[in-house]
Amino acid sequence: MSITKQDVLKKYFGYDSFRPQQAEIIDKVMDNQDCLVLMPTGGGKSVCFQIPAILRDGLTVVISPLIALMKDQVEALRGNGINAAFLNSSLSSAEQDQVMWQAKVGELKLLYIAPERLFSGNTFDFLREWNVQLFAIDEAHCISSWGHDFRPEYRQLSNLKLRFPDVSVIALTATADRVTRRDILKQLGIEHAETYIASFNRPNLSLNVLPGRKRIQQIQSFVYKHDGQPGIIYCLSRKGTETVAASLQNAGFKAAFYHAGLPSEQRSKVQEQFLKDDIQVIVATIAFGMGIDKSNVRWVIHYNLPSNVESFYQEIGRAGRDGSPSDTVLFYSYMDIITRQDMINNSEQSEEQKELLHAKLNRMKQYAEADICRRRILLSYFNEAVEKDCGNCDVCRNPRTRFDATVIAQKALSGIARTDQKVAMGMLIDILRGSRNRNVLQYGYDRLPTFGVGHDLRGEEWAEYISQLLNSGVMDIAYDEAHAFKLNAASRQILKGERKVELVKFIPISERKAKEEEL
């Protein structure tokens, strides 16, 4: 009796049953058909090509952009008794020759190769002699400039189907927006391919957005409450990772930072310590996490706003891979949006590309500012309809109410008008609340009619409402004038009483339901 895919799953990977879609995808590949697989990170994409590779004669060539991960993946396969190797610039030329020889004589089932290596020298010509049966294109969104991680070297993969029309292709990605998906098929020349979309819903992850004030303090109390539970904090900058890690260390937690500026030995060491639970908290840039196989990460915090929903989703997806309840927290304030917008505007991208990046950022903003179930918003991004509210996000637990905030808006806007549109967030709040601090006194702002008109609201409430006013476009901000607030046509209508404003009621964290006390 011949060996089945179930046997292979059990024998080589130790699992009893397939996850949804895996079996169908494997059948399709075994039938020599092209396909595109969209599955969230940790969803189990690899076995979709590894099992066919084991079952079929000949060689499966796996194209992967992440040189650092190839070695781990190949070692894992070898550890399970599967003949695999990789070809990339980290090998000496003698080692590369050795691998090419193994491929030629048919000793290998899987060969991992970086795209730049595939198209350098005469590797591409050698492929003809290697009895290639299947191309697996991992991180396939890298081929599309619509995706969030375009890599020009991936573009050359559009030659594959032209040069090897009979070899089937399986493209895999965790990025699934419609445009990128169509572009992947087009670029690879596999428009007819069957597309498999696994659910992106991860109900065990709680989704939470917290106001981005006193972040370090909030994090310390969060880590304290998540006693001993492993977690990851993502920061925008390398410096940020170091600062946050130091603050946690000073508070007595086992924390370390991780970013691409560290020597590789140190990075491996930190990673290793985290895997073994010797370190509880990793504070990292996005450089951390690709291919980290730690199933019991209990929480992920975003210290800064990610640039797009795909990256955000991938990063929170590193929590709770074992299916147990896990928490995700995004810190958010209007400054995060400004920082990201500046980064896009100051980048070297084409105007068209900038527009795309702004659109992607905007989707992230919608998530952060949601006043409906956050999971609905997240999943709608991946074109997945949701039947009902999730019950496991902060909005579901604390339904938002809107109220007529015209008077609040008028107070804030007149504060801006009376100071000749020169003040930014901190000063405006001080004026509204009537704080007689040195800066306020220095400018004589304590003599303004608006001084103290907003003493009934706390500073955090004002910050929240002013952010909402900015986000709803009824006032502006000048990035190039130390973020001073500006009035626009809508502001003037509100000041004249010609226009009403609704805002979402602020709920102090101490009054939010159950779950929030743990955050």
Binding residues for Zn ion, per CB under 5 A? 373, 375, 389-390, 393, 396
User: Minimum distance from CB of 98 to ligand ADP (Å)?
Assistant: 27
Q: Which two tokens stand for residue 155?
A: 């573009």
User: Minimum distance from CB of 376 to Zn ion (Å)?
Assistant: 7
Question: What CA–CA distance (Å, rounded) separates 294 from 272?
Answer: 10
Residue 21 interacting with ligand ADP (CB under 6 A): no
User: Minimum distance from CB of 511 to Zn ion (Å)?
Assistant: 19
Q: Which stretch binds ligand ADP (CB under 6 A): 38-46, 237-245, 371-379, 408-416?
A: 38-46
Question: What CA–CA distance (Å, rounded) separates 42 from 63?
Answer: 18
Residue 458 DSSP SS3: coil
Candidate residues 15, 126, 224, 479; the one interacting with ligand ADP per rule CB under 6 A: 15
Q: Using CA of residue 206, residue 209, residue 215, residue 221, what is the dihedral sign?
A: negative
Residue 481 interacting with ligand ADP (CB under 6 A): no
Candidate residues 12, 30, 33, 46; the one interacting with ligand ADP per rule CB under 6 A: 46
Question: What CA–CA distance (Å, rounded) separates 333 from 480?
Answer: 18
Question: What CA–CA distance (Å, rounded) separates 111 from 108?
Answer: 7
Residue 25 or 490 with smaller CB distance to ligand ADP: 25
Question: What CA–CA distance (Å, rounded) separates 503 from 507?
Answer: 12
Sheet containing strand 281-284, edge to edge, reads: 205-211, 326-332, 299-302, 231-234, 281-284, 255-258
What is each CA distance from 291 to 171, 174, 194, 469, in whole angstroms?
18, 13, 26, 41
Candidate residues 45, 226, 267, 411; the one interacting with ligand ADP per rule CB under 6 A: 45
Residue 52 interacting with ligand ADP (CB under 6 A): no
Q: Which of 274, 292, 275, 291 is nearest to 283 (CA)?
A: 274
- Name beta bridge partners: 331: 210
Residue 78 interacting with ligand ADP (CB under 6 A): no
Question: What CA–CA distance (Å, rounded) separates 411 from 465?
Answer: 11
Residue 403 interacting with ligand ADP (CB under 6 A): no
Q: Which stretch binds ligand ADP (CB under 6 A): 41-49, 82-90, 325-333, 508-516?
A: 41-49
Question: What CA–CA distance (Å, rounded) separates 309 from 358?
Answer: 12
Residue 46 or 493 with smaller CB distance to ligand ADP: 46
Residue 339 interacting with ligand ADP (CB under 6 A): no
Question: What CA–CA distance (Å, rounded) separates 112 from 84?
Answer: 8
Q: Is-contact 329 519, C-beta < 8 A?
A: yes
Q: Which two tokens stand for residue 31?
A: 């039938």
The interface partner of residue 212, options being ligand ADP, Zn ion, none and the CB cut-off 5 to 8 Å by kind, is none
Q: How many CA atoms lie within 13 A of 31 on its CB side?
A: 11
Residue 41 interacting with ligand ADP (CB under 6 A): yes
Residue 201 interacting with ligand ADP (CB under 6 A): no
Residue 4 interacting with ligand ADP (CB under 6 A): no
Residue 198 DSSP SS3: coil
Q: Which stretch binds ligand ADP (CB under 6 A): 11-19, 122-130, 160-168, 368-376?
A: 11-19
User: Minimum distance from CB of 24 to ligand ADP (Å)?
Assistant: 13
- Across 344-360, b (16+ Cβ under 10 Å) vs e yields beeeeeeeeebebbeeb
Going residue by residue from 349 to 378, which x/- string records binding to ligand ADP, judged by CB under 6 A? Answer: ------------------------------
Q: Which stretch binds ligand ADP (CB under 6 A): 16-24, 236-244, 305-313, 404-412?
A: 16-24
Question: What CA–CA distance (Å, rounded) separates 281 from 297?
Answer: 10
User: Minimum distance from CB of 47 to ligand ADP (Å)?
Assistant: 5
The interface partner of residue 75, options being ligand ADP, Zn ion, none and the CB cut-off 5 to 8 Å by kind, is none
Residue 76 or 509 with smaller CB distance to ligand ADP: 76
The interface partner of residue 293, options being ligand ADP, Zn ion, none and the CB cut-off 5 to 8 Å by kind, is ligand ADP
| Helix, strand, coil in percent for the chain, rounding step 5 | 45, 15, 40
Give how far the C-alpha of residue 181 lies from the chain's centroid of Cα atoms, to the nearest Å. 18
The interface partner of residue 375, options being ligand ADP, Zn ion, none and the CB cut-off 5 to 8 Å by kind, is Zn ion
Residue 211 or 230 with smaller CB distance to ligand ADP: 230
Q: Which residues contact 94 (CB under 8 A, 6 or more apart)?
A: none
Main-chain dihedrals φ then ψ at residue 454, nearest 5 degrees = -115, 30
The interface partner of residue 42, options being Zn ion, ligand ADP, none and the CB cut-off 5 to 8 Å by kind, is ligand ADP
Residue 10 interacting with ligand ADP (CB under 6 A): no
User: Minimum distance from CB of 142 to ligand ADP (Å)?
Assistant: 14
The interface partner of residue 342, options being ligand ADP, Zn ion, none and the CB cut-off 5 to 8 Å by kind, is none
Residue 47 or 490 with smaller CB distance to ligand ADP: 47
Q: Which of 169, 126, 150 is nearest to 34 (CA)?
A: 169
Question: What CA–CA distance (Å, rounded) separates 87 from 85?
Answer: 7
Q: Which two tokens stand for residue 273?
A: 């310590």
Q: Which two tokens stand for residue 486?
A: 């500006």
Residue 43 interacting with ligand ADP (CB under 6 A): yes
Candidate residues 44, 65, 212, 306; the one interacting with ligand ADP per rule CB under 6 A: 44
User: Minimum distance from CB of 54 to Zn ion (Å)?
Assistant: 41
Q: Which stretch binds ligand ADP (CB under 6 A): 35-43, 59-67, 267-275, 382-390?
A: 35-43
Interface residues with ligand ADP (CB under 6 A) are 13, 15, 18-19, 22, 39, 41-47, 293
